[in-house]
Chains A and B, each alone.
With several copies, the nearest count.
Chain A
Amino acid sequence: MSHTLLTRDQIAERAAQDIPDGAYVNLGIGLPTKIAKYLPADKDVFLHSENGLLAFGPPPAKGEEDPELINAGKEYVTMLDGGSFFHHGDSFAMMRGGHIDICVLGAFQVAANGDLANWSTGAEGAIPAVGGAMDLAVGAKKVFVMTNHTTKTGEPKIVSELTYPVTGKNCVDRIFTDLCVIDVTVKGLVVTEMVENLSFNDLQAVTGATLIDATK
């Protein structure tokens, strides 16, 4: 039997399970944003946005959008009771100062030592843009990465060394892909879960760095 890839929503749902009650969390733009809808209602998880929001809530009802109430992805949001507004200085103090428990970022590549590349492919002539990625990479207590295991063309995104420009060094703690969950440890990349019917050898074959099997 062949294995099935997790959908983007399923990766988000899996990642959501590792976010504990009371965590202060920054969900990066794009894929990680999906995690919000899988956070259980009985948990108080505090979502932080770079542009000065803590404890923001789901999108507003149609017609209730406020152009001055947006998240870092420039999507309309709402505020929960107990939420707060603050300026960019305080917002990045939260991030850089180690007050955010978990940030979840997308990735172009993750290296075996936890180096992350997610801000630039280094392509000639491309306009560079970095936003808050480098601050989250160095500042959050734990950095989770959420990504497809390989690129659209089948190239490994988990590699022995980055070939793309680095966002943060030795910063990634855990990787959630459409194939598995990997802990980045001092011993190396430890696979703790795999999708059903996937063999460790097959997983290793689509990975650019040596994996350690801890699924049994």
Chain B
Amino acid sequence: MINKADKNITEVLSQIKDGATIMIGGFGTAGQPAELIDALIDLGVKDLVIINNNAGNGDHGLAKLLKTGAVRKIICSFPRQSDSWVFDELYHAGKIELELVPQGNLACRIQAAGMGLGAVYTPTGFGTLLAEGKETRHIDGKDYVLEYPIKADFALIKADKGDRWGNLVYRKSARNFGPIIAMAADVTIAQVSETVDLGALDPEHIITPGIFVQHVVQIEPTHSTTAAST
């Protein structure tokens, strides 16, 4: 009998080692798995490569992880924000490497990894600094840049509800990168606000089928659950 929700957060995260490549869900703080990130910080691993849309906000979550110096490189689309002072300082001090990827190419390269594609020709970024040195091709009247998949050893995501087979549903705009990074990582760890019985999630409503999820960790919800969703 498979129970993907049978380990505590520390046990689950202990498989992450120095040098790991980790995708982290969230757009800003919506959908950011804050508790998994805190547990990752406690683990004390180093030399990480992080993939996220942003580069941390304020002093919590991803920003806090960056501040520990555990992250060697970040792949993201929008690091510069009004409250990204932790990243800003590391970047200006030359203490973190940045690979800037247009947001749609970030999504698309993650999807390519999840789908098992070798590479894709994307129109985004053609002729820009972010495509410098990259192979291009003119196809059917339009210009494209060749982009390669982005995979990861781990994905840390935040979902709303999960079951013991790893099926997940999300909440509002916290869904964002969750479903696609779950498909692109060797091991996906989901924190959920509620663990439900098998069969409680309608098969028509499941957003991430359990095949893409290896561990489910229940965290007490901190958001206001005004609108319940299944």
* Interface residues, chain A, with chain B CB atoms under 8 Å away: 21-22, 24, 42-44, 46, 48-55, 64, 66-72, 74, 79, 81-100, 120, 125-135, 138-139, 165-169
| CB-based nearest A residue for B177 | A88
- A129→B78 contact, CB < 8 A: yes
- A132→B180 contact, CB < 8 A: no
- B124→A135 contact, CB < 8 A: yes
Q: Give the interface SS of chain A, mostly helix, strand, loop or mixed.
A: loop
User: Which residues on the A side are within 8 Å of B31 (C-beta)?
Assistant: 68
B115 at the interface (CB under 8 A from A): yes
User: Which residues on the B side are within 8 Å of A131 (C-beta)?
Assistant: 77-78, 102-103
- A130→B172 contact, CB < 8 A: no
A43 and B111 CA atoms in complex are apart in Å by: 31
Task: Given A81-B198, A129-B78, decide whether A99 and B171 contact each other with a Cβ distance below 8 A.
Answer: no
- B124→A134 contact, CB < 8 A: yes
B1 at the interface (CB under 8 A from A): yes
B44 at the interface (CB under 8 A from A): no
A135 and B201 CA atoms in complex are apart in Å by: 29
Closest 8 CB pairs of A and B: A81-B199, A135-B104, A92-B104, A129-B80, A96-B116, A97-B116, A84-B206, A82-B198
- A89→B111 contact, CB < 8 A: yes
| CB-based nearest A residue for B181 | A88
A90 and B207 CA atoms in complex are apart in Å by: 11
Task: Given A42-B1, A139-B123, decide whether A85 and B175 contact each other with a Cβ distance below 8 A.
Answer: yes
Most chain A beta carbons < 10 A, residue from B87, B203, B210: B203
* Interface residues, chain B, with chain A CB atoms under 8 Å away: 1-2, 27-31, 53, 77-81, 84, 87-88, 91-92, 98, 100-105, 107-108, 110-111, 113-117, 122-130, 143, 163-165, 167, 170-180, 183, 197-199, 201, 203-204, 206-207, 209-212, 223-224, 226-227
| CB-based nearest B residue for A88 | B107
Task: Given A70-B30, A127-B80, decide whether A83 and B203 contact each other with a Cβ distance below 8 A.
Answer: yes
| CB-based nearest A residue for B166 | A82
Name B176's contact: one of A51, A81, A120, A138 (CB within 8 Å): A51
Task: Given A82-B165, A139-B116, decide whether A166 and B127 contact each other with a Cβ distance below 8 A.
Answer: yes
- A52→B211 contact, CB < 8 A: no
A55 and B203 CA atoms in complex are apart in Å by: 10
| CB-based nearest A residue for B125 | A134
| CB-based nearest A residue for B179 | A87
14 residue pairs bridging A and B, Cβ less than 8 Å apart: A42-B1, A68-B174, A70-B30, A82-B167, A82-B199, A84-B206, A84-B209, A87-B175, A93-B183, A94-B211, A99-B211, A128-B79, A130-B130, A138-B124
